[in-house]
Amino acid sequence: MKNALLILAAIFLAPLAQAQELKEIKLNAPDKNRGTAVMTALANRASVRAMDSRPLSHQDLSDLLWAAYGVNRPDGRRTAPTAKNDQDIDLYVALPAGAYLYDAPNNLLKPVVSGDIRPLLAAGQEFVKSAPVVLLIVSDYSRFRMNDPDLSRLWGAMDGGIVSQNINIFCAAVGLATVPRAYMDQPKLKEILHLSATQLPILNNPVGYPLVK
């Protein structure tokens, strides 16, 4: 009986213990004075499917996340709009050591699970496995204050697409490589990230420095 209890405790506490191996990462304040003019960024935006595996600098990672979905007003609203400001989007950050959740109000990354989840995001596209960071955009459609699951999913997909476009434009403006991607192993990602039934992975963006030609 005692052994059975120990085994059960090990099974249920294992994900918690894994997440505890990772430490919270405090992000820098965003540098709002960087990047090209918006028309130049739009002119340069393109999907790039090859990138350097070297880690992003801490400032680049901080600015990338703020541009994607950071808080840009005192009332807590974001750089990306969401339907009715219900803020259904969560941004997961896959680094080689593990996955984190972007806590925008506190400007930090919260550990979710240790270990490399990039192969689950890659779904056959090899370059994703060595991208230094992959951002996973997830909509929790239960946050919409309406009782229409079909419409909620549609709105969630739209909100996620806008966050991805923020990432695309930021990367084009500062010379980073990225591509919006729908391919990923949804069931396994939902399991490993402990997503609820109403949390839907929408898109992911691998991000890295461009390869020198």
Ligand X SMILES: Cc1cc2nc3c(=O)[nH]c(=O)nc-3n(C[C@H](O)[C@H](O)[C@H](O)COP(=O)(O)O)c2cc1C
Measured in whole angstroms, how far is the alpha carbon of residue 200 from the centre of its chain? 13
Span interacting with ligand X, options 24-32, 46-54, 58-66, 188-196, rule CB under 6 A: 46-54
CB 69 within 8 A of CB 89: yes
CA distances from 45 to 38, 64, 177, 210 (A): 10, 15, 9, 13
CB of 96 to ligand X, least distance (A): 21
Q: Site for ligand X (CB under 6 A): how many residues?
A: 9
CB 71 within 8 A of CB 105: yes
Nearer to ligand X, 78 or 181 (CB): 181
Nearer to ligand X, 49 or 153 (CB): 49
Nearer to ligand X, 109 or 169 (CB): 169
Site string for ligand X, 55-94 (x = CB under 6 A): ----------------------------------------
Span interacting with ligand X, options 5-13, 15-23, 45-53, 62-70, rule CB under 6 A: 45-53
Using rule CB under 6 A, residue 49 touches ligand X: yes
Using rule CB under 6 A, residue 167 touches ligand X: no
Q: Which long-range contacts (CB under 8 A, 24 or more apart) does 32-35 make?
A: 34/63, 34/173, 34/174, 35/170, 35/173, 35/174
CB of 3 to ligand X, least distance (A): 46
Using rule CB under 6 A, residue 126 touches ligand X: no
Using rule CB under 6 A, residue 113 touches ligand X: no
Contacting ligand X (CB under 6 A), which of 20, 47, 53, 57?
Answer: 47
Using rule CB under 6 A, residue 180 touches ligand X: yes
Render the burial of 61-77: b for 16+ CB within 10 Å, e for the rest.
bbbbbbbbbbbeeeeee
Render the burial of 175-197: b for 16+ CB within 10 Å, e for the rest.
ebbbbbbeebbeeebbebbebee
Using rule CB under 6 A, residue 200 touches ligand X: no
CB 157 within 8 A of CB 163: no
Using rule CB under 6 A, residue 183 touches ligand X: yes
Using rule CB under 6 A, residue 46 touches ligand X: yes
Using rule CB under 6 A, residue 50 touches ligand X: no
CA angle 85, 61, 19 (to 5 degrees): 80
Binding stretches for ligand X (CB under 6 A): 46-47, 49, 125, 179-183
